[in-house]
Chains A and B, each alone.
Chain A
Amino acid sequence: APCPQWPYCRKRCSYCNFNTYVVRALDEAAVRACLVREAQTLLRLSQVHRCVHGMGSEWAQLRPSCPPAAPHPLPCSVTSVFFGGGTPSLASPGTVAAVLEAVAGAAHLPAAAEVTLEANPSSASASRLAGFRAAGVNRLSIGVQSLDDAELRMLGREHTAAEARQAVEAARGLFPGRTSMDLLFGLPGQSRDAWGQRLEAALGLCDDHISLYQLTLERGTALAAQVRGGALPAPPQDLLADMYETARNVLVATGFRHYEVSNFARKGALSTHNLSYWRADEYIGVGPGAHGRFVLRGEGGCSREARVQTPEPITWMREVQSQGHGTRSRAVLNPLQQLEELLSLGLRTDEGITHERWGHFSPQLSLQDVFGEPEEARALQQSGWLVLDSGGLRCTWAGLAVLDSLLPDLLWQLQRA
């Protein structure tokens, strides 16, 4: 699943510490050319390595049992593309089309492939969205964040609640059943009641997918500085936990499946692309600061690599222009590291980690071998936070809400196995 990054924003949000840039004048044609070139290069590189399911998740349906080095007669096909950022909806539909064309030119891009674009309400007019649809986008993720003007101002967002509503409504018209919205909770000063109201408003507006994030105060952001300086109150942990609990109960009662720690879907509208992250599938990152994980099968090995593209757009462009891609770092993940990722990501989903998937990463030691011993995992099972059964290893309903507190124990047990 290629995930092209558009690192530019019109304004930096007060809570954001992503790799984003606000520039006055942008040479979009040059950025577009580089995104296209890097996508082509990385796709070509991957096909040199004859990935079977290696580039699997993004190029072909995952077939966990297929032999590692089997030559594949067909060109790889792509199951999903995700345009993230930054604010990719600031890019022109032409740029999105050009990247998709590059993907389709270098690999098989079936019509059914999920193509998501992250959109900001301030750059999501109906005509613009129609342009993205014509370019090949078939799923939209809208950064609504809040439906309250005061909260939006505190977050440094450029849009009002009314504009967010318009954007979601326009998106639902163009992408029915395939529009997601992002919501934030735990804002400084936000009360339990205020959150209840936001949630209600969101339910009245949303389509079949909601992503719910607790606001994280990241060092280096304006909002964190205000909280640290005492200008804004820090939300108490207990209140945050209550807000989360309220939200998941309300959403499940209205027909949503809580399929990942911060994601809810109904009518099967799960995000295929994001599921691939949490299943520790492979994906390729294109654009400044993009991250990727993929297996290179060139020498008959099974080395899954973590790749990061150069974050600074200017340097990245220079590198793409001179060598076809701007990979800043490549690190081979050893088997333990791969299992650590699988464990930490897989447990975020309601399905957890199946025996089959675990076995794919760990042919020798089964889930039972690692976590069946009377140690941490067993204690966590007895406390009612974890389940290990014929389906695999997964969190209970209660466990999902405290996963971060369970993982250090589980990782430590894994490291000793």
Chain B
Amino acid sequence: MALAGRAALRWGPRLPSPCPAAGPLCRPAWLPAARCERHYSSRGQGKLDMSTYPVESIRNFSIIAHVDHGKSTLADRLLEITGTISKTDRNKQVLDKLQVERERGITVKAQSASLFYNHEGINYLLNLIDTPGHVDFSYEVSRSLSACQGVILVVDANEGIQAQTVANFYLAFEAQLSIIPVINKIDLKNADPERVEKQIEKLFDIPRDECIRISAKQGTNVEKVLQKVIEKIPPPQCNTADPLKALVFDSTFDHYRGVIANIALFGGEIAKGQKIVSAHTKKRYEVNEVGILTPNEQPTHKLYAGQVGYLIAGMKEVTEAQIGDTLFLYKQPVEPLPGFKSAKPMVFAGMYPIDQTEYNNLKSALERLTLNDSSVTVHRDSSLALGAGWRLGFLGLLHMEVFNQRLEQEYNMSVILTAPTVPYKAVLSSAKLIKEYGKDEITIINPAQFPDKLSVSEYLEPTVLGTIVTPHEYIGKIITLCQDRRAVQKDMLYIDENRVMLKYLFPLNEIVVDFYDALKSLSSGYASFDYEDAGYQSADLIKMDILVNGNPVEELATVIHKLKAYRKNVVAKCYGGDITRRMKLLKRQAEGKRLMRKIGNVEVPRDAFIRVLKKETDK
């Protein structure tokens, strides 16, 4: 959860923009500025014939990185080398368009670009597929990655591996993509690429000699990256002769043309005039336009299997082009691509106008803002103290903050936002309640609606797996912080002589309010944090009671957990090939023991153990 910095690719501003800097003259204020260019895209040019790029000459890839490690600068160089944008551009720093994006560096909407590159006499089509820059959007990231066969993993030569690097690596690793490690900013005075190579080897098992040292800023070795993309990333495995199968991996709303869906073709071909169907909504559309992004929209006659581009087909709302959906030809249905799910909000907060007379204005601002972001859920709500308002659901903390900030900056709306809560679940035991809800497990998004524990057999709370990377002098404080937040340590590893990576399983509830601020302040800003969804876990009945009453949770839970740890499995297979890996894991744990001892005062003292045991047996 990198809450600061700049991220993601922005090419738009680089191009001669017909838009004045201030929005309203050229576009409605509530439309993201990036869209305005689309009206002026190069539609006048002759349409490209994409059939000259067979599957074997296509590479679909993404760039992933921690914020500020140089993802956008590398993307700019790749665009320049391939002649996609002019080299004479004098911008050293990409300007993000939305104020919130400038300040926080979040890709709210990802952009993609098709690059043309000749390598050893063959013309390649390289599709750079952008991903949102934050794991709040990990579902979107994983959909974007599912259109790729490989990624470029960028790590700063000075800062080394950070929390978001780890999270991004695992997303790519789990998607079984080829990974090209790149160490950026080797021109900096404090650059230590050797140290970063060691970190990469230690953490990701990628041999040091596979890392490419570059300076995206100065263009050093960037060409090598392109060559590696061609050599190491396999072409997509699909066939133009198959029926059309297109993955929607992003969508944007254009006020004049409706929904523009970014698609990746896993089979067949698509052209204007064809009738298509959404596997999710079953709705039928006629294709008005297809094309590629360079990064402006450039219409083409057709798109073919393996290619990536956009589609306009008269969809009126973004909810009609949901990320992860599959499109196919009318009357030629195909098996939808796996993994589709609707965006699932994980953080909820009540939103109320400061003055009830502002209610209608706020309502219309909310409607406009959610027009382009189908992942925000809106339910009407009211409170005795605050009057009429809404309960909003967000993908994560950052998502919520961004939304709120946009509301203030773009609509000049000041609102009261209640403390964020997480969606709990309750397994009901009362027959009456089961009948009332029509099911025995309910999700509670509003603490006020908590069913009494007498009618509940089990409460469940959402958890996240958090990754923290920090200089080692702060570990003691950080471990104490994590324990205070009911977190369970999963891993602790020195990634080099003085940096440590910690992994903790947190109840989501414990990090939604001020965890990141606390972490930053006790590490003087040096620790980075990121998290991913880790499912639901059973929550103690008593604990839930305390939690709802807003009191801190007692230490006992942590202690009991420690005792149980002794029962963990040892029966995993352990033969020749696994020994190295197993030793690595065990030594990490031994290292953890050493750290615990060194820090002191963190591990539960022996007599506490015994006391708890006694308590248990007394019961």
Given that A213-B571, A220-B173, A344-B586 are known contacts, is A402 also in contact with B566, CB under 8 Å in the complex? yes
Q: Are A234 and B535 touching (Cβ within 8 A)?
A: yes
Residues of A contacting B549 in the complex (Cβ-Cβ under 8 angstroms):
none
> Is B564's CB within 8 Å of the partner chain A?
yes
Q: Are B577 and A285 touching (Cβ within 8 A)?
A: yes
Q: Roughly how many angstroms separate A348 CA and B582 CA in the complex, as a whole number?
A: 13
Residues of A contacting B587 in the complex (Cβ-Cβ under 8 angstroms):
340, 411
Closest chain A residue to B536 by CB distance? Answer: A230
Closest chain B residue to A337 by CB distance? Answer: B583
Q: Roughly how many angstroms separate A220 CA and B176 CA in the complex, as a whole number?
A: 7
Per-position binary interface string of chain B over residues 135-163, scored 1 when its CB falls under 8 Å from any chain A CB and 0 otherwise: 00000000000000000000000000000
Q: Name the contact of B571 in the complex, choosing from A261, A283, A411 (C-beta under 8 A).
A: A261
> Is A241's CB within 8 Å of the partner chain B?
yes
Per-position binary interface string of chain B over residues 561-585, scored 1 when its CB falls under 8 Å from any chain A CB and 0 otherwise: 0001111111111111101101100
Q: Are A238 and B176 touching (Cβ within 8 A)?
A: no
Q: Roughly how many angstroms separate A401 CA and B570 CA in the complex, as a whole number?
A: 7
B 573-606 contacts with A by CB, 8 A:
573-577, 579-580, 582-583, 586-587, 589-590, 592-594
Residues of B contacting A401 in the complex (Cβ-Cβ under 8 angstroms):
567, 570
> Is A370's CB within 8 Å of the partner chain B?
no
A 259-275 contacts with B by CB, 8 A:
261-262, 274
Q: Roughly how many angstroms separate A408 CA and B596 CA in the complex, as a whole number?
A: 12
A 363-386 contacts with B by CB, 8 A:
none
> Is A329's CB within 8 Å of the partner chain B?
yes
Residues of B contacting A348 in the complex (Cβ-Cβ under 8 angstroms):
570, 574
Q: Are B571 and A345 touching (Cβ within 8 A)?
A: no
Which of A262, A278, A293, A403 has most chain B Cβ within 10 Å? A262
The range of chain B's interface size is 20 to 34
Q: Roughly how many angstroms separate A228 CA and B170 CA in the complex, as a whole number?
A: 13
Q: Roughly how many angstroms separate A278 CA and B579 CA in the complex, as a whole number?
A: 10
CB distance from B488 to the nearest CB of A (A): 12
Given that A238-B567, A344-B586 are known contacts, is A289 also in contact with B577, CB under 8 Å in the complex? yes
Q: Name the contact of A407 in the complex, choosing from B170, B173, B580, B586 (C-beta under 8 A).
A: B586
Q: Are A241 and B582 touching (Cβ within 8 A)?
A: no
Residues of B contacting A329 in the complex (Cβ-Cβ under 8 angstroms):
207
Q: Are B174 and A225 touching (Cβ within 8 A)?
A: yes
Residues of B contacting A293 in the complex (Cβ-Cβ under 8 angstroms):
576, 579
Residues of A contacting B534 in the complex (Cβ-Cβ under 8 angstroms):
228
Q: Roughly how many angstroms separate A289 CA and B570 CA in the complex, as a whole number?
A: 24
Per-position binary interface string of chain B over residues 220-237, scored 1 when its CB falls under 8 Å from any chain A CB and 0 otherwise: 000000000000000000
Residues of A contacting B594 in the complex (Cβ-Cβ under 8 angstroms):
412, 415
Q: Roughly how many angstroms separate A19 CA and B589 CA in the complex, as a whole number?
A: 25
Q: Name the contact of A415 in the complex, choosing from B174, B573, B574, B590 (C-beta under 8 A).
A: B590
Closest chain A residue to B569 by CB distance? Answer: A214
Q: Are A412 and B593 touching (Cβ within 8 A)?
A: yes
Given that A3-B576, A230-B535 are known contacts, is A408 also in contact with B593, CB under 8 Å in the complex? yes
Q: Are A237 and B568 touching (Cβ within 8 A)?
A: yes
Given that A234-B535, A291-B579, A306-B580 are known contacts, is A405 also in contact with B568, CB under 8 Å in the complex? yes
Per-position binary interface string of chain A over residues 136-174, scored 1 when its CB falls under 8 Å from any chain B CB and 0 otherwise: 000000000000000000000000000000000000000
> Is A351's CB within 8 Å of the partner chain B?
no
Residues of B contacting A402 in the complex (Cβ-Cβ under 8 angstroms):
566-568, 570
Given that A219-B174, A290-B577 are known contacts, is A405 also in contact with B566, CB under 8 Å in the complex? yes
Q: Are A262 and B564 touching (Cβ within 8 A)?
A: no
Per-position binary interface string of chain A over residues 270-306, scored 1 when its CB falls under 8 Å from any chain B CB and 0 otherwise: 0000100110000101000111110000000000001
Seen from chain B, the residues whose Cβ lies within 8 Å of a Cβ on chain A are 170, 173-174, 176, 207, 533-536, 564-577, 579-580, 582-583, 586-587, 589-590, 592-594
20 additional A-B pairs beyond A220-B176, A240-B569, A345-B579, beta carbons within 8 Å, are A84-B576, A212-B571, A213-B573, A214-B571, A216-B569, A220-B174, A230-B535, A230-B536, A234-B535, A244-B569, A262-B571, A285-B577, A290-B577, A306-B580, A329-B207, A337-B583, A341-B583, A400-B570, A408-B590, A408-B592
